[in-house]
Amino acid sequence: MTEFLYDVTGVGNAIVDVIAPCDDDFLNANSVEKGAMTLIDEARATELYSRMAAGREVSGGSAANTLAGVASLGGRGAYIGKVADDQLGQIFTHDLNAAGVRYDTSPLVGGPATARCLINVTPDAQRSMSTFLGASVMFGEDDIDADKIRAANITFMEGYLFDRDEAKAAFVSAAEIARTAGRRTALTLSDTFCVDRHRSSFRHLVKNHVDILLANEAEILSLYETDDFDAALAAVRAETNLAAITRSEKGAVIVRGDETASIAAEPVDAVIDTTGAGDLFAAGFLLGAARDLPLADAGRLGAIAAAEVISHYGARPETRLETLAQSSQARLS
Amino acid sequence: MTEFLYDVTGVGNAIVDVIAPCDDDFLNANSVEKGAMTLIDEARATELYSRMAAGREVSGGSAANTLAGVASLGGRGAYIGKVADDQLGQIFTHDLNAAGVRYDTSPLVGGPATARCLINVTPDAQRSMSTFLGASVMFGEDDIDADKIRAANITFMEGYLFDRDEAKAAFVSAAEIARTAGRRTALTLSDTFCVDRHRSSFRHLVKNHVDILLANEAEILSLYETDDFDAALAAVRAETNLAAITRSEKGAVIVRGDETASIAAEPVDAVIDTTGAGDLFAAGFLLGAARDLPLADAGRLGAIAAAEVISHYGARPETRLETLAQSSQARLS
């Protein structure tokens, strides 16, 4: 068996989250789309922030959250993404390294600030995200560290990268390096609005270039422009080697050729903030896939990781997931 | 009765907290004094941060936490303190204003960065603080907004301000403005190590210039260099108009002339992080004092506010304290 330096290398938008509670009236009054990730410019970010409640700053970014989860499960992970040479960039870099993820993309000097995601969390635990991409989009092919991709069992990329041409070029470059090296690539569709923006590109990628697909139910329905979950599942089964579709409290469905595994959601005492649920499911699932676990075991790791992250504010684990998985008698290798 | 624009105006070191979990071995290996606030320089801050776990950034600063608590209880508060013109300074400013506290001290341009307090929290909920004072000490008499002090029933100042000469001058200036305007001044001794550093200054202040003293048991024993709590209480009773001494899970004792009120600690499901316990007791107690509540009622507000803040990470309330106080049938006015 090949020895990999990393189980998973992630490529994504490097973002610091600003998380604050709000009510539905706040979302309406400030035209924030509930449950979605909306891209905003710096002026809008400043204005929206001025209206938000006092918050906490925690490192985020979809694929970065996933890699923090992989490391917390005891996996070996690396990350490629761009921050600015500023205080938030230092925080992002610190937190990812402190989580045990190898991360050393050079920070941007003299350009926009580190990306911020303003996350307003309503009492129903739903998060509504407004993202100023800042330095994260000044992320080009030159920033793709080929060694981190060649050394990884799976290279995992965010759909969000398609929102800017530079990052999209970096995505394509990363995928080519992985393919040439005989490695697997994984993609998350990220968000239904992201699928709307890039449907044809995503359809082409999923069919031709992606080995492992991650999506939630709404995203996969949007990708195939159908209301029929079974039809979408049949399409994704035909087009990918392996796919995991998350369904919130209904758990997840994993398909690989003729195989299907249904994964139950892990019980949670109280759902506080759903930010990061998909990212952390991906962490467990991808680590399981990298370690060639049976589908049900890989899915269970995803469910355990997702349950931890929705039980508190913020999109990265606050409890060691490896310990949680062990105490749940989940298979880790 | 005089109409005050503010119940309390706070003067203190404007600091952003970086909070991360750790174990006792970490404190030992990195020579962090458990339970204390230790001043560190920028090089030490960089080194210690590089070793800390992934964290969360939340606005802090002792008096600023108190003012956030006053506002959360429905009181009117203002704050005076210095951040730099950087991202952490913007976060501090946002959070305090979003909490409902009037804060507009001009940020420092071209000097050191906004102050940071690296807070390592052990599983026993004890916090060990390492503070890089940065811009907060470039805080001079010119930054003292006399209008905010004259318009406040009580001006509340941190003992921590004595750690640097510039801030100490600002402290003295604020106290003089309050006194000349016929307002009350309050002081917190902040920390036993802070008392050790400035005992003679604090003794002089308490005896001659402070109307209301806040301290915990260890600090008041250190101030009077005694092991006898009753002796310390007798001394503080003779030297101040009003004093509140907190005793962790034993509650608090309030003295005013011949009066004594013993305050029970509020029950807490689980103590997570004791950061801010004293600051939030001060919030409730000072608001009660500003509103001329009976001692027991002012103390109860302090106990309710402290109980909320130790039940989660971070030193500012996450639940509206006014609502908590109302549901506990505490007297607010």
B103 pLDDT higher than 90: yes
Measured between beta carbons, the chain A residues lying within 8 angstroms of B94 are 49-50, 52, 54-55
Range B147-175 average pLDDT: 91
Nearest to A54 among B18, B87, B316 (CB): B316
Residues contacting residue B238 through CB under 8 Å, at least 6 positions apart: none
Q: Is the pLDDT of residue B1 over 50?
A: no
Residue A184 lies in a domain: yes
What average pLDDT does this structure show over A163-190? 91
- For residue B29, is it within any domain? no
Burial readout B217-248 (b: 16 or more C-beta within 10 A, e: otherwise): bbbbbbbbeeeeeeebbebbbebbebbbbbbb
Flag if A113 and B87 touch (Cβ within 8 Å).
Answer: yes
Whether residues A94 and B59 touch (CB distance < 8 A) is answered with no
pLDDT, one tens digit per residue, over A114-129 is 999 999 999 999 999 9
Please tell me the total count of domains within chain A. Answer: 1
- Please give the residue that has the higher pLDDT: either A177 or A3: A177
Q: How confident is the model at residue B182 (pLDDT cuts 50, 70, 90)?
A: very high
Contact yes or no for A95 and B68 at CB 8 A: no
- Of residues B87, B91, B94, nearest to A86 (C-beta): B87
**CA distance from start to end of chain B:** 14
Name the CA dihedral angle for A116, A122, A127, A132, rounded to a multiple of 10 degrees: -20
Count Cβ atoms within 10 A of the Cβ of residue B77 and give its class: 0-12 exposed, 13-18 middle, 19 or more buried: buried
In chain A the beta strands, taken as DSSP E runs, fall at: 6-11, 15-21, 37-39, 56-59, 77-80, 101-103, 115-121, 127-132, 152-158, 184-188, 212-216, 242-246, 252-256, 259-263
Position B2 confidence tier, pLDDT thresholds 50, 70, 90: low
Residue A1, pLDDT > 50, answer no
Buried b (16+ CB within 10 A) or exposed e, A119-149: bbbbeebbbbbbbbbbbbbbbeeebbbeebb
Q: SS3 for B294?
A: coil
Task: Select from B65, B91, B104 the residue whose CB has the most chain A CBs within 10 Å, as the one to mutate to test that interface.
Answer: B91
B173 falls within a domain: yes
* pLDDT tens figures, B42-84: 999 999 999 999 999 999 999 999 999 999 999 999 999 999 9
β-strands B252-256, B259-263 pairing: antiparallel
- pLDDT at residue A27, rounded to an integer: 98
* Average pLDDT estimate for A283-303: 98
B68 touches A: beta carbon within 8 Å: yes
- Return the structure tokens found at B169: 């001058």
B174, B161, B149: which is closest to B13 by C-alpha? B161
Map residue B278 onto helix, strand or coil: helix
pLDDT band at B4 (very low <50, low <70, confident <90, very high): confident
State how far the alpha carbon of A192 is from the alpha carbons of A27, A67, A124, A198, B82, in Å. 19, 22, 20, 10, 43
Which residue in B57, B86, B316 is closest to A57 by CB distance? B57
Among B54, B58, B86, select the one facing A56 at the smallest CB separation. Answer: B58
Q: Of A50, A55, A99, which is closest to B54 when you measure between CB atoms?
A: A99
The answer to the question of residue A234 being in a domain is yes
Name the residue of chain B whose CA is nearest to A55's CA: B95
Q: Is A94 on the interface with B (CB under 8 A)?
A: yes
The tens digit of pLDDT for each residue in B277-322 reads: 999 999 999 999 999 999 999 999 999 999 999 999 899 999 999 9
Residues of A in contact with B58 (CB under 8 A): 56-57
Q: Does A91 touch chain B (CB under 8 A)?
A: yes
- Taking one residue from A and the other from B, the number of pairs with CB-CB distance under 8 angstroms is 59
Q: For residue A2, name the pLDDT band (cuts at 50, 70, 90).
A: low
Residues in chain A: 333
Task: State how far Cα B14 lies from the chain centre.
Answer: 11
**What is the nearest CA distance from B98 to chain A, expressed in angstroms?**
5
- CATH number for the domain spanning A47: value is 3.40.1190.20
pLDDT of residue B187 exceeding 50: yes
Q: Averaged over A254-266, what is the pLDDT? A: 97
What ipTM is given for this predicted complex?
0.92
pLDDT tens per residue, range A208-223? 889 999 999 999 999 9
> Is the Cβ pair A94, B49 closer than 8 Å?
yes
**Does residue B77 contact residue B102 with C-beta atoms inside 8 Å?**
yes
Q: Which residues pair with A18 in a beta bridge?
A: A57, A118
Q: Does A316 touch chain B (CB under 8 A)?
A: yes
Written as six digits, the tokens of B296 are: 């027991």
Domain that includes residue A309, residue range: 6-325
Interface test with B, best of A87, A93, A273 (most B CBs within 10 A): A87
Tell if the CB–CB gap between A57 and B54 is shorter than 8 Å: no
Q: Is B273 part of any domain?
A: yes
- Proportion of chain A above pLDDT 90, given as a percent: 92
Q: Is B317 exposed, middle or buried (0-12, 13-18, 19+ CB in 10 A)?
A: buried
A94:B68 CB<8 A:
no
Q: What's residue A169's pLDDT? A: 87
C-beta neighbour count of B177 within 10 angstroms? 20
The reply to whether A172 falls in a domain is yes
The answer to whether residue B262 sits within a structural domain is: yes
pLDDT for residue A297 is more than 80? yes
Backbone angles phi, psi at A137, to 5 degrees: -90, -5
Tokens of B234: 């007798």
Please indicate if any CB of chain B lies within 8 Å of the CB of A314.
Answer: yes
- Beta-carbon-side half-sphere exposure of residue B219 (alpha carbons within 13 Å): 31
In a domain, B128, yes or no: no
